[in-house]
A and B are shown apart, each in its own frame.
Chain A
Amino acid sequence: MRTILIIAAKEIREGMRNRWVLATTLLMATLALTLAFLGSAPTGSVGAGALDVVVVSLSSLSVFLVPLIALLISHDAIVGESERGTMLLLLSYPLARWQVIAGKFAGHLTILAFATLVGYGTAAVALAGSGRLDGTAGWPAFAALICSSVLLGAVFVSIGYFVSAMSDQRGTAGGVAIGVWLLFVLIYDMALLGLLVVDQGRTVTPEALNALLLLNPTDTYRIFNLGGTASAVAGMGIADQSTLASGTLMLALLLWAAAPLAATMLVFSRREP
């Protein structure tokens, strides 16, 4: 455990040194503030709470942004260190290889959680400060948004590590990471929509659709945030057709984070530095 913490602390320190933490937090805060103030202009006519609108627009944004940031941080974590030559020295120390992965994961996830909490939190606090919030109704959904965003980040950090552990060169890892992002964020949904349009509900039952949505962590995340209290204003895409419970969705995301991480540890323990 101590070894994991030492490695995590080093990752966080490095993240602060090379301005990763700062840049990510600023990016998230800027976008969240923009959405909070510009996006909440028409709320009066719809009648939804200001925070609910922010949750909807922020989750639509996070679906693109969080996986991108997570993959950017993680795709280099293993192959980059191998290529620079720091991994060889690290592995000669008294530690197990899975501890290296676990430590990096803890460190990177902390950075991501900090950026999300501070970035999105700033927007919520600013909204509350400007007096646009009526009551506390939107807060649970907002807290769920932050938690699920961090979990979505964990999923893609974990996938990024797997890509990194499988790659021989940093360039390869970067390319594959971009491919993974495109696949989960854009291509999968387009293909699914196309399928539904062509199929017209003949063979794709609601259960099959649920399963297909759980197979993509970004869809799982989207349903989790848009299918809850904010569903009244969601009204888009395929999200509101789904009938998945939020517990199932969370579990799916947890599995999506755990499986690639375990696979990474397995691959990495066999890799020859």
Chain B
Amino acid sequence: MKPTILLDGVSKSFGAIRAVRNVSLALAPGEIVALVGHNGAGKTTLIKLMLGLIRPTEGVVRVLGGDPSTDAEVRAAFGYLPENVAFNPALTGRETLHFYSALKRAGREQVEGLLERVGLAEAAGRRVRTYSKGMRQRLGLAQALLGRPRVLLLDEPTTGLDPALRRDFYRFLEQLRDDGATILLSSHALSELEGRADHVIIMGRGEKVADGTLDELRRLARLPTRIRIRLAEGERRDGFQGSWRAVNGRMLEIDAAPEEKVALVRAAMGAAIADLDVVPPTLDELYAHFQDRQDLDR
């Protein structure tokens, strides 16, 4: 499938600071992409490059086949939520959305539905000045979703959302993805993205450190899977020597390399056990692994 967003050898410098260095990536339609990295890793710069708000010092940025910095057509297909979104405090939430929907030629009739969706229907007539941080964030989300965007670029979208709204938000994103939208999320809340992101890009110091599906990254990282068992009453732990460690009482655990994983689980099943957990490395651990590796390479 033709990629929606294509970056080829993109670098961006601000004076002496090289914010993004030689990044190439391709994002396909119908996928949720997680962009993760420490503060200052170049996530926001990368998003601004995709939006065409800034131009690359080197390399090429293509979105939907066009150059987003010059092609207004391309930008009409965007939904963007900036980190720390701000609105004019003197206007009401509804007026704000009417303004943005007009700019996007999105039709006013969407506005009420979106206000409802983000839980701002009651506050829509109040000025943004009176909104809490979470409410502003929700207004920002509503604005990003105007006009059925084909490319959603969301910078830290879930800060300030309560768990129920967060779940609803991800469900909505999944709908948009199934319609063929490309969704890029940048986030610090890695555990939240787990199981939701189809594709993970890890940035470190302006460079792309890792890029792939969560499974691909796990294979690449070769991080151990943690197997934890609880022995049944009366069973002795003689069969579990070596790397098996005892954790409080009858629990035992081991960090299994990818190729020994199945054998170890089979061995555990052979004994009388009351419980078994197999925990693959989390996104947090993968992230830490790739970060450390980048540090070693320097």
Binding site for B on A (CB under 8 A): 3, 6-7, 10, 13-14, 17-18, 84-86, 88-96, 272-273
Contact = CB atoms under 8 A, between A and B. Distances in A.
B80 A89 contact: yes
Contacts of A3: 103
B99 interface: yes
A131 to B, nearest CB: 42
28 contacts: A6-B99, A6-B102, A6-B103, A10-B88, A10-B91, A10-B99, A13-B91, A14-B88, A14-B90, A17-B90, A17-B91, A17-B127, A84-B86, A86-B86, A89-B82, A89-B86, A89-B140, A90-B103, A91-B53, A92-B78, A92-B80, A92-B82, A93-B104, A94-B72, A94-B75, A94-B78, A95-B103, A272-B53
Nearest to A6: B102
Interface string B225-254: 000000000000000000000000000000
Contacts, number: 62
Contact of A93 (B54, B75, B87): B75
B46 to A, nearest CB: 14
Contacts of B284: none
Given A94-B72, A94-B73, A94-B76, A272 B54 contact: yes
B90 A93 contact: no
Nearest to B71: A94
Contacts of A273: 48, 53-54
Given A18-B90, A272-B14, 7 more contacts: A6-B103, A7-B103, A13-B91, A92-B53, A93-B75, A93-B103, A94-B103
A88 B87 CA distance: 11
A85 B82 contact: yes
Contacts of B78: 92, 94
Which of B75, B88, B127 has its CB near the most chain A CB atoms (within 10 A)?
A: B88
A-B complex: 8 closest residue pairs judged by Cβ atoms: A85-B86, A17-B90, A94-B76, A94-B72, A92-B80, A94-B75, A93-B103, A6-B102
Contacts of A18: 90
B239 to A, nearest CB: 61
A221 B82 CA distance: 44
Contacts of A96: 72
B85 interface: yes
Contacts of B73: 94
Nearest to B80: A92
A187 B35 CA distance: 55
A272 B53 CA distance: 7
A92 B85 contact: no
A86 B88 contact: yes
A18 B88 CA distance: 11
B290 interface: no
Nearest to A85: B86
A92 B72 contact: no
A17 B87 CA distance: 14
Interface in B124-140: 127, 140
A93 B100 contact: yes
A3 B78 CA distance: 17
B168 to A, nearest CB: 23
A14 B86 CA distance: 15
A89 B88 CA distance: 11
B211 interface: no
B95 interface: yes
A90 B76 CA distance: 12
Contacts of B51: 92
Which of A86, A94, A96, A273 has its CB near the most chain B CB atoms (within 10 A)?
A: A94
A86 B88 CA distance: 7
B85 A85 contact: yes
Which of A7, A88, A272 has its CB near the most chain B CB atoms (within 10 A)?
A: A88
Contacts of B80: 89, 92
Nearest to B103: A93
B39 interface: no
Contacts of A7: 103
Contacts of A13: 91, 95
A5 to B, nearest CB: 9
A86 B53 CA distance: 13
Nearest to B146: A93
B18 to A, nearest CB: 15
B191 interface: no
Interface in B229-281: none
A94 B91 contact: no
A163 to B, nearest CB: 21
B84 interface: yes
A168 to B, nearest CB: 13
B143 interface: yes
B87 A86 contact: yes
A96 to B, nearest CB: 7
